[in-house]
């Protein structure tokens, strides 16, 4: 039986991440970066596509229990057997030179025989490396990749079935640590780390970081877990935050809605910055702002909806046919063709993010305002064209209302910045006129007076959950009847067993794709916040409580949720979902929860 998406837990060194199942198997790991080729790809295939399982020798099923150490990203997985009990502790310590995966086996009770099965498969499960012994270690090499495996104390290993196996026993208090280290095959092996010191330092460092959290209201543990997850999805050297560490986890099991999310999207940049600033993490907020400035630098006409973790622009999409897909969901895609789309909303996101950064007192950059001026000036001449919209539809361009609202946001933030900083140069009167013109058109063409709701695009009857952001960005006040009507219409028409879809997929003409998808968790968090803003605070808190209840046993959320099967869907864990959770907690409980 194939694992469920929610059966996985995450560990990370803030440059890449691994997913570990309840069966004790590392089923996904890309080295050395989040967007590198996977050396463990069982997540999207089978055991022959690479994995590393450590468990009691005769354990066939899942672990007895698992949990993160409080306020850390260190994972403990425990097994109860007839022989006794063991704990496997997994972590990826912050790297000095090379990425390390550390797995510590500890005897808790009795005398337990433990089995380690390691199958390395480079290039997304397609390449079997050459494995040899060197000074008591196992070394696997293929092309540019080299991986070293060692244990402390040393345990016997042997090769079988194109894998590396170990078998040993542990009694109460005994420990055996494994360390898997990657480095470029043309370079010498990096210095070896002490796995036990790495465990101690990782626990200390995570708890020190969590100590900066300013939120102390209800659901604090859940909020902290989301903050840790967002930190884990942040590429420390550049400050970029990947949408998820995975590719092609399906939005519909067996369907084709499978995308690569190991890149950095601009659509959630303002919400991301708000999380950092409001929760007490200004350093991370500034790093994200700086990443954004580097990524968007250049011709405003070339602004992309997403970038690589270092700001790379070319993210070509292709398929890997040798992987059978999660739950037989194909194709498995690498790269993301949506990078070529036009989405006018990202101009508003960038302008809003940089305005928020300035208002929060983050140190300005000499070129920041010049970039903003160039963006708003290009947008002033280009905003009337249709685009693919926030959700990256592949059914053709439209005049999406959310996109036009975000155009208004771009103009509005430019105006407000000039009004508050008169020493800056800009066309204040022209931008005010631009802002007002966009507002008039959206209200005229994007609003359905008969149904008292804004619509997904001009002249359409479809709705879009992104319209819930209208009061949040300030396009209209929360008490405007058109805002209240839009919230109610979305809740009625896009609701599925209490949670929200992004938009209706009944008509494939909108997104150009067959099949359907689950309820979208970020949108459901937006609904909770919108209900709160319009005075329905009890309903907002009840919805938030139900959403928190969807987290898996270690507090993680995917992109979507199927309320019929009770399964998480989409790439995992999803930054957008966790950003929504934290921002909604701040909105609902900030007055009595944030320091």
pLDDT in tens, 241-266: 999 999 999 999 999 999 999 999 99
CATH class of 212-589: mainly alpha
**pLDDT for position 399:** 97
pLDDT digits (tens, 9 = 90+) for 173-221: 999 999 999 999 999 999 999 999 999 999 999 999 999 999 999 999 9
Mean local confidence (pLDDT), 413-421: 97
pLDDT band at residue 2 under the 50/70/90 scheme: confident
**pLDDT for position 340:** 93
Mean local confidence (pLDDT), 499-507: 81
User: What's the distance, CA 84 to chain centroid?
Assistant: 38
Instruction: Confirm if 362 and 288 have CB atoms less than 8 A apart.
Output: no
Whole-structure pTM value = 0.96
Does residue 594 have a pLDDT over 70?
A: no
| Number of C-beta neighbours around residue 38 at 10 A | 29
Burial class, 69, CB count within 10 angstroms (exposed 0-12 / middle 13-18 / buried 19+): middle
Same topology between domain 5-210 and domain 212-589: no
Does residue 306 have a pLDDT over 60?
A: yes
Spatial distance between the Cα atoms of 20 and 32, rounded to a whole number of angstroms: 17
Instruction: Confirm if 193 and 179 have CB atoms less than 8 A apart.
Output: yes
Spatial distance between the Cα atoms of 198 and 420, rounded to a whole number of angstroms: 48
**pLDDT for position 595:** 41
**pLDDT for position 135:** 80
pLDDT digits (tens, 9 = 90+) for 505-525: 665 567 677 778 899 999 999
At the second CATH level, the architecture of 5-210 is Distorted Sandwich (2.70)
**pLDDT for position 97:** 87
Question: What is the SS3 assignment for 260?
Answer: strand
Mean local confidence (pLDDT), 375-390: 96
Percent of the chain's residues with pLDDT above 70: 98
Q: DSSP states of 269-327 as a string? A: HHHHHHHHHHHT-HHHHHHHHHHHHHHH-S-GGG--SEE-TT-------EE-TT---GG
Domain boundaries, the chain: 5-210, 212-589
| Number of C-beta neighbours around residue 585 at 10 A | 28
**pLDDT for position 56:** 97
Mean local confidence (pLDDT), 370-384: 96
Local structure of residue 344 (DSSP, 8 states): T
Local structure of residue 498 (DSSP, 8 states): T
pLDDT digits (tens, 9 = 90+) for 542-557: 999 999 999 999 999 9
The full length of the chain comes to: 595
Does residue 569 have a pLDDT over 90?
A: yes
Averaged pLDDT score across all residues of the chain: 95
**pLDDT for position 590:** 82
Q: Which residue has the tokens 């969901």?
A: 329
First to last CA, the chain: 46
Spatial distance between the Cα atoms of 511 and 517, rounded to a whole number of angstroms: 12
**pLDDT for position 505:** 64
**pLDDT for position 509:** 61
| Number of C-beta neighbours around residue 186 at 10 A | 7
Q: 18-22, 45-49, 391-395: which has the minimum mean pLDDT?
A: 391-395
Mean local confidence (pLDDT), 268-280: 93
**pLDDT for position 271:** 92
């Amino acid at each position: 039986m194939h694992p469920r998406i929610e059966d996985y837990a995450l560990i990370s060194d803030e440059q890449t991440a691994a997913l570990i199942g309840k069966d004790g198997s590392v089923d996904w790991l890309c080295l050395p970066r989040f967007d590198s080729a996977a050396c463990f790809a069982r997540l999207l295939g089978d055991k022959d596509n690479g994995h590393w399982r450590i468990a009691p020798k005769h354990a066939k099923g899942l672990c007895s229990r698992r949990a993160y150490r409080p306020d850390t990203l260190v994972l403990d997985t425990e097994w109860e057997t007839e022989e006794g009990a063991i704990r496997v502790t997994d972590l990826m310590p912050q790297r000095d030179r090379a990425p390390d995966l550390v797995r510590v086996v500890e005897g808790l009770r009795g005398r337990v025989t433990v089995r380690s099965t390691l199958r390395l498969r480079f290039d997304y499960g397609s390449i079997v490396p050459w494995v040899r012994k060197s000074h008591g270690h196992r070394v696997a090499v293929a092309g540019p990749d080299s991986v070293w495996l060692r244990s402390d104390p040393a345990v016997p290993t042997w090769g079988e079935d194109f894998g590396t196996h170990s078998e040993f026993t542990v009694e109460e208090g005994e420990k055996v640590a494994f360390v898997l280290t990657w480095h470029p095959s043309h370079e010498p092996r990096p210095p070896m780390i002490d796995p036990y010191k790495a465990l101690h330092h990782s626990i200390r460092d995570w708890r020190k970081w969590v100590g900066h959290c300013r939120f102390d209201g209800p659901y604090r543990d859940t909020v902290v877990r989301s903050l840790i997850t967002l930190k884990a999805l942040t590429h420390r050297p550049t400050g970029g935050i990947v949408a998820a560490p995975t590719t092609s986890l399906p939005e519909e099991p067996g369907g084709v809605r499978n995308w690569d999310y190991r890149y950095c999207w601009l659509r959630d940049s303002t919400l991301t910055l708000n999380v950092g600033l409001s929760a007490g993490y200004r350093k991370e907020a500034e790093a994200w702002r700086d990443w954004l400035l580097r990524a968007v630098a250049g011709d405003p006409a070339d602004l992309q909806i997403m970038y690589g973790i270092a700001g790379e622009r070319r993210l070509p999409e292709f398929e890997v046919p040798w992987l059978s897909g999660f739950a037989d969901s194909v194709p498995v895609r690498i790269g993301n063709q949506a990078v070529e789309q036009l989405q006018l909303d990202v101009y508003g996101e960038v302008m809003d993010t940089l305005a928020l950064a300035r208002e929060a007192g983050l140190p300005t950059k000499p070129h920041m305002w010049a970039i903003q001026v160039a963006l708003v000036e290009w947008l002033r001449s280009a905003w009337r064209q249709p685009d693919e919209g926030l959700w990256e539809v592949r059914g053709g361009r439209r005049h999406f209302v959310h996109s036009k609202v975000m155009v208004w946001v771009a103009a509005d933030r430019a105006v407000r910045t000039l009004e508050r900083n008169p020493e800056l140069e800009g066309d204040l009167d022209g931008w005010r006129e631009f802002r007002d013109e966009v507002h008039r058109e959206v209200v005229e063409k994007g609003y359905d007076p008969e149904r008292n709701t804004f619509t997904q695009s001009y002249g359409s009857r479809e709705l879009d959950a992104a319209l819930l952001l209208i009061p949040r960005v300030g396009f209209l006040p929360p008490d405007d009847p058109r805002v209240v009507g839009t919230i109610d219409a979305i809740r009625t028409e896009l609701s599925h067993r209490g949670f929200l879809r992004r938009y209706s997929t009944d008509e494939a003409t909108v997104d150009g794709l067959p099949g359907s998808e689950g309820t979208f968790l970020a949108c459901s968090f937006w609904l909770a916040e919108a209900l709160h803003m319009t005075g329905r605070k009890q309903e907002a808190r009840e919805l938030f409580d139900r959403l928190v209840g969807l987290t898996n046993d270690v507090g993680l959320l995917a992109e979507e949720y199927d309320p019929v099967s009770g399964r998480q869907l989409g790439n995992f864990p999803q930054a957008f979902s966790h950003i929504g959770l934290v921002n909604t907690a701040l909105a609902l409980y900030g007055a009595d929860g944030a320091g």
